[in-house]
Structure 1
Amino acid sequence: METHSFVSCSFILALVFLMICKGISGSTFTFKNRCDYMVWPGILSSAGSTPLDSTGFDLSPGESRSFQASPGWSGRFWGRTGCTFDANGQGSCATGDCGSNQISCNGAGATPPATLAEFTIGSSSGTNSQDFYDVSLVDGYNLPMAVDASGGTGACGTTGCVTDLNRMCPSELQTGDGQACKSACEAFGNPEYCCSGSFGSPDTCRPSVYSEIFKSACPRSYSYAYDDATSTFTCTGADYTITFCPGSTSQKSSRDPSGTATNASPVLPKAPEPEDDPNGSSWLPSFAIGGSSRRIPNNALTWTIISFFVFCFSQL
């Protein structure tokens, strides 16, 4: 009888655990500014996605801010720089401007060139539980950015571009004041650079000398439209941190214990790369693999487990 009660309780506990896992979902996006200047992040939710609580805001050096995204959300983030807004919140930005004339972008996207972080969050139901994310330079570059996944399962690699591409931007791609670097598509409009027309497929659109410059400096970022194999990352049940100027030595987090700025070159944390697998496939995104639901708050899960164990033992 005691064995039967224990088995029954264990089954119920497992069932409740799965129900909680299924019921709590979504991802938290945390934005951090490690630049030594103000950044105005922009947020664009895809059509059909529940919008986040903001479409644009200011982020001072050293400041962070978080937003909750619902299951199935997709969209993009970027940083605006050199912005000037008046007391009424009206104005514009030197790079990444969304043309809204406000701090909020109100459904408008970034004006190229701009470094973009793109996400598709998995659904809490069905087979599409896996998240997909990348950092894209297809629309050019304006500031360093890194995306880090935490608490998820799967490859969950860190991606982004920590190199200051503005310093190595070819003159023909530079904006007038050198604050951003255009893509070859935007600069020249040629189909072979834009992957359009007869070049509109992976077989016909190949890396250009310009996209190779971006790829060499930022190997985990999209450098042109069909750069999927080495640029798309996947994870399940994670929260994400988007850091502007992740390699900056001007902030406390990048200083040594004495408070003196270090001279070490900024690097992204180790992420799986093609050479980790002789076949080059150990970290490639798998569109067929499912995964678990979102993480469960520790307190809720702990008290649920304790309550059921108390109930179970009282039945023995």
Structure 2
Amino acid sequence: MAAMAAMAAVLFLLLAGAIRVSKGASFTFENNCEQTIWPGLLSGAGSPPLPTTGFALAQGESRSVPAPAGWSGRFWARTGCAGDPAAGAFACATADCGRGTVACGGAGAAPPATLAEFTLSAAAGGSDFFDVSLVDGFNLPVLVSPSGGKTCSATGCVADVNGACPRELAVVAGGETVACRSACGAFGKPEFCCSGAFANPNTCRPSSFSQVFKNACPRAYSYAYDDRTSTFTCPAGSSYRIVFCPSTSSQKSAGTNPTAVPAAGGGGDGGGGDVIIYQGFPYSGAAAAAATAALVAWSFLLVLLV
């Protein structure tokens, strides 16, 4: 009986740990900027809803929201916001979602906006995919720092691209550049937008404008087919910090510039395929699968003993 009780206790702890991993994942938003920002949150079609679609975040503040399994969508930060949300008169200088309120309510960011994009695994043992994208332009530096262990790597755009923004792409307010448009947003040409005859990776190539973004932020998407160095993965159940205007100490966690190569599919939404080859190693959640098998074995043994 004592052995059975001990085994039951071990099984309980293992199961409790598994529950914490699967249910405790979160997105934590941190504001290291010198002013208040207003993060926007947009869930993809069919994704579990998040408890908020937008909020204010003062300098130095942080806020966490749950990261439900199977969720996909994007985050960004609005800047220079003012007006009365109660009267529907709330608006932002950059990345406005056009709702007139602090909550974005299912609306996306008006370009230019730095985007953090996620596709979380719906199954234990799977892989999350994430990226930081400048395909819609740039407004603030962003760092995404995962907590999934050695198989994960931080990514982001930690440089202030506004300072290097070509004059043709610059969004100027009050005499200073507050955002940097993409070439697609500035000129609307198919070769910049990867549309029409250029809607495939063979014909849509980097431009001198997208190279400005890539030189400043090697890990971020600089144009629509920039998958090879820009899509990252982490085991299912990982939590993520999304840091706006990351400090020097935050940037150190990003390490050296990696190469992230989708094994199949790909795309700016980070959702192509179940395995990514990263620095020569495939990551598909094998460790999580092994843990699940161990729990099943313990449960089966306990049933036999009872």
TM-score norm. by structure 1 comes to 0.76
Q: What is the letter of the counterpart of residue 202 of structure 2?
A: D
**Secondary structure in structure 2 of the residue aligned to 1:72:** coil
- 1:147-192 Cα offsets, whole Å, 9 max, x none, are 0011x14531111111111111001011142210000011111111
Equivalent position of 1:164 in the other structure: 160
Structure with higher Rg: it is: 1
> Are 1:120 and 1:131, in contact at CA under 8 Å, matched by a contact in 2?
yes
Partner Cα separation in structure 2 for residue 29 and residue 113 of structure 1 = 23
Alpha-carbon distance in structure 2 between the residues aligned to 1:193 and 1:158: 28
Deviation at 1:196? Answer: 1.0
Question: 2:244 corresponds to which residue?
Answer: 244
Deviations 1:32-64 (A, max 9, x none): 000001100000011111111110000000000
Relative distance call for 1:210 and 1:14 in structure 2 (3 A) is farther
Q: Counterparts of 1:229 and 1:10 in 2: how far apart (Å)?
A: 49
CA distance 1:284–1:213, shift in 2 (3 Å)? farther
Aligned pair count reads 270
Letter in 2 for 1:289: S
Match of 1:258 in 2: none
Q: Runs of 5+ in structure 2 lacking a partner?
A: 261-276, 292-297
AA in 1 matched with 2:30: K
Distance 2:85 2:284 in 1: 50
State the partner residue of 2:138: 141
1:94 aligned counterpart, secondary structure: coil
- Do the aligned partners of residues 141 and 87 (structure 1) sit closer, same or farther apart at CA in structure 2, a change above 3 Å counting? closer
Query: After superposition, where does 1:26-41 map in structure 2 within 5 Å?
Result: 26=23, 27-41=25-39
What percentage of aligned pairs have identical amino acids?
A: 50
CA distance in 1, matches of 2:181, 2:281: 28
Residues 1:269 and 2:265 are matched in the alignment: no
Instruction: Give how far 1:89 is off.
Output: 6.9
Distance 2:181 2:280 in 1: 28
Ranges in structure 1 where 5+ consecutive residues have no aligned partner: 255-265, 276-280, 297-307
Give TM-score scaled by structure 2 length.
0.79
Task: Tell me the secondary structure at the aligned position of residue 119 of structure 1.
Answer: strand
Report the equivalent of 1:218.
217
Match of residue 76, structure 2, among 75, 78, 86: 78
Change (3 A) 1:239 1:148: same
Q: How much is the aligned-residue C-alpha RMSD, in angstroms? A: 3.1
Tell me which of 258, 271, 290 is aligned to 2:285.
290
Secondary structure in structure 2 of the residue aligned to 1:213 = helix
Match of 1:44 in 2: 42
